Amino acid sequence: MKLDISYREIWRVAYPIILGSVAQNILNITDTAFLGRVGEIALGGGVLGGCFTMYCSCWAGGWSWVGKSLWQGV
> pLDDT digits over 13-70, tens only?
899 889 988 988 888 889 889 998 999 999 898 888 888 888 888 888 777 777 777 7
Residue 70 lies inside a defined structural domain of this protein: no
Residue 18 lies inside a defined structural domain of this protein: yes
Distance CA 45, CA 38 (A): 11
Q: State the pLDDT confidence band at 73, using cuts at 50, 70 and 90.
A: low
Residue 73 lies inside a defined structural domain of this protein: no
**Domain count within the chain:** 1
Where in the sequence is the domain holding 35, given as residue range(s)?
A: 10-65
Distance CA 54, CA 60 (A): 10
Q: State the pLDDT confidence band at 74, using cuts at 50, 70 and 90.
A: low
Q: State the pLDDT confidence band at 12, using cuts at 50, 70 and 90.
A: very high
Q: Is the confidence at residue 9, as pLDDT, over 80?
A: yes
Residue 4 lies inside a defined structural domain of this protein: no
Residue 34 lies inside a defined structural domain of this protein: yes
Residue 59 lies inside a defined structural domain of this protein: yes
Distance CA 29, CA 23 (A): 10
